Each structure stands twice: as structure tokens, then as C-alpha cells.
């Protein structure tokens, strides 16, 4: 290859290096057109594992029941000062499991914090109880947490959203499967080390099993699940959207769709 051509290509790519570093899988998909029809690992789980291993956080739940609902909370479970909290609930279509995550933005450290990310499972005797999931939100508000938004992904969520709205809690529908932005935002936060959460084996295991399907959808393998990663991605999406820390970039290369830039700035 002509070295002058190589130098020119390198210079042309310079403005996009940050975008590529944030989300290498997305860059392969958007810039190089790679992935059609193939199953590719989506997540760099080593990056998430490193964050968890270095985190000073711990799970705020002291005891879970057999389905995964919180039974007893730690005394340290208190709202961060002046912080707004966002939650997402992923309701599995077959009703065998649900994911729940809640988080906030730490302005001092400029980090997206996932305070809680759990999987709730149905048993032979007990189905998923959506009322008990809502009770987590109500308990948080009772403790003084300021709830900015609770979103649901699932056709069963209409009743829950109406109940939350009737109690003065903003609720919305957010499809994780039909929209790449939640996962791309989640991945960008992790890759940029602007993310923190406690050591969470379920979240880590699910992230390691995520695959890119047809270059446009994140899914789990045949034996895996993604309830907790879906819930976490939903929280990341709302923090980026509601707090105004990210904006879609309106720059297009050739026929490539615009790249979503996620940048967190330290507060002064």
C-alpha cells in the first residue's frame, strides 16, 4: 500500500478514533459494514469485570427470597444527595423471569452508578409478581429517593405504568430489543470507564453471553439470558437522555447512519 495513501487515511480517521474506542463492535458494524448474518460477541466483559473488581460498592440488599425479591435492605441503602434515580424493568415474554435495575449519576466522580441490578425468577408455585417489583420503587421513594423515571419493556407493563403514574411517579415504555441505543450507551459508559457497580455475577455472566445478531440487535445465546443486562441498559439510556449528557452526532460517513456520542463532563 502507498504510504502516502495510508497517512491520508489515518488522518481522515482521526476524528472518529474516540467513537471507535467507545464502542468497537458498533464501529465494526457502522464504519466497516461487518456483521451481517453473523453472531459476534457484543460485550468486552473483561472491562466490566475490572470495574466490578475495583468497585467499592456493595449490593444494597441484605437478603433475597427464593425468587430473588429483596426481603431485607442494608442500613446503608440511602439516596445520594441531590441525585435523581432511574429504573428499568425487563419483563420476559414467557413470564419466567424479570430484570430490575436502578441507578443514578454521580456528579462528583462523573460516573454512571448502577445501585441495584437483579433477576427475579418465577417458580413452579409462584409467577412473577409485578406488584412486588413496584413495591421496590415505592419503598425507595419512602426512603427519600427522587425517582426521575421508571420504564418497562414488555406488553404486560401497561397496568404497572398506570399505577406508578397514579402515584406521581413518571413511567414510560422503552423497548430494548427494537432500539440499539440503550445497549450502545451502556457499552460506551463501560468502555470509557464512566460506569460503576458492585460485584454482580448475574450481570457479568449475562454480559459475557451477549451476541450481535445481523449487526442490528443484541441477544443472548441459546442457553443464556439478558434480563439483567436489558434492565441495566435501560437505566443507562435514561440517565443519558434525561440528564442531557449525550446527544446524537449529526455527522454521516457515506451511507452510514449517525453515530451516537456519549460523553460525560465533570461538573465544576
- Residues 137 and 147 sit within 8 Å (Cβ to Cβ): yes
C-alpha 86: how far from chain center:
11
Predicted confidence (pLDDT) per residue in 144-168, tens digit? 999 999 999 876 789 999 999 999 9
pTM score: 0.77
Structure confidence at residue 66 (pLDDT): 95
Contacts of 154 (CB under 8 A, 6+ apart): 89, 90, 91, 92, 93
**Selection from 36-50, 89-103, 209-223, 242-256 with the highest mean pLDDT:** 89-103
Give the mean pLDDT of 3-27.
49
Instruction: Give me the CATH number covering residue 227.
Output: 3.30.420.240
DSSP letter for each residue of 24-93: HHHHHHHTS---TT-EEE---HHHHHHHHHH-----SEEEE-TTS-EEEE-TT--PPTT-EEEEEEEE-T
Total domains in the chain come to 1
**Residue 202 forms part of a structural domain:** yes
Contacts of 122 (CB under 8 A, 6+ apart): 67, 95, 96, 97, 128
Does residue 27 lie in a domain region? no
Alpha-carbon gap, residue 244 to 105, rounded angstroms: 11
In a domain, 58, yes or no: yes
Task: Let me know: does 84 contact 245? Beta carbons within 8 Å.
Answer: no
The domain in which residue 186 lies consists of: 36-262
More confident residue, 187 or 17: 187
Residue 237: inside a domain: yes
Reported as a single tens digit per residue, the pLDDT across 97-133 is 999 999 999 989 999 999 999 999 999 899 999 999 9
> 229 or 31: which carries more pLDDT confidence?
229
| pLDDT given at position 256 | 27
Average pLDDT of the residues in 260-265: 44
Residue 248 lies in a domain: yes
Specify if 182 maps to a domain: yes
pLDDT given for residue 252 in this prediction: 25
Q: What is the mean pLDDT of the chain?
A: 80
More confident: 3 or 36? 3
| 189 in any annotated domain | yes
**150 in a domain, yes or no?**
yes
Q: Which pLDDT score, from 0 to 100, does residue 93 have?
A: 64
Amino acid at each position: 500500500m502507498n504510504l502516502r495513501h495510508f497517512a491520508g487515511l489515518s488522518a481522515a480517521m482521526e476524528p472518529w478514533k474516540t467513537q471507535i474506542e467507545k464502542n468497537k463492535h458498533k464501529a465494526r458494524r457502522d464504519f466497516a459494514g461487518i456483521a451481517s448474518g453473523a453472531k459476534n460477541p457484543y460485550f468486552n466483559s473483561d472491562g466490566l469485570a475490572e470495574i466490578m473488581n475495583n468497585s467499592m460498592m456493595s449490593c444494597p440488599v441484605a437478603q433475597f427470597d427464593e425468587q430473588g425479591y429483596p426481603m431485607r435492605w442494608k442500613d446503608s441503602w440511602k439516596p445520594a444527595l441531590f441525585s435523581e434515580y432511574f429504573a428499568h424493568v425487563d419483563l420476559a415474554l414467557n413470564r419466567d423471569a424479570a430484570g430490575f435495575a436502578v441507578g443514578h449519576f454521580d456528579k462528583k466522580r462523573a460516573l454512571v452508578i448502577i445501585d441495584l441490578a437483579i433477576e427475579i425468577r418465577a417458580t413452579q408455585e409462584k409467577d412473577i409478581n409485578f406488584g412486588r417489583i413496584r413495591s421496590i420503587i415505592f419503598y425507595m421513594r419512602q426512603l427519600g429517593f427522587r425517582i426521575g423515571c421508571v420504564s418497562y419493556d414488555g406488553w404486560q407493563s401497561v397496568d404497572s405504568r398506570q399505577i406508578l403514574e397514579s402515584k406521581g411517579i413518571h413511567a414510560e415504555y422503552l423497548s430494548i430489543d427494537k432500539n440499539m441505543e440503550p445497549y450502545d450507551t451502556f457499552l460506551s459508559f463501560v468502555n470509557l470507564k464512566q460506569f460503576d457497580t458492585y460485584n454482580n455475577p448475574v450481570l457479568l455472566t449475562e454480559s459475557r453471553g451477549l451476541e450481535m445478531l445481523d449487526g442490528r440487535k443484541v441477544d443472548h445465546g441459546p442457553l443464556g439470558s439478558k434480563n439483567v443486562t436489558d434492565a441495566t441498559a435501560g437505566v443507562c439510556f435514561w440517565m443519558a437522555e434525561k440528564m442531557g449528557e449525550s446527544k446524537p452526532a449529526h455527522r454521516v460517513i457515506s451511507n452510514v447512519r449517525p453515530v451516537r456520542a456519549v460523553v460525560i463532563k465533570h461538573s465544576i
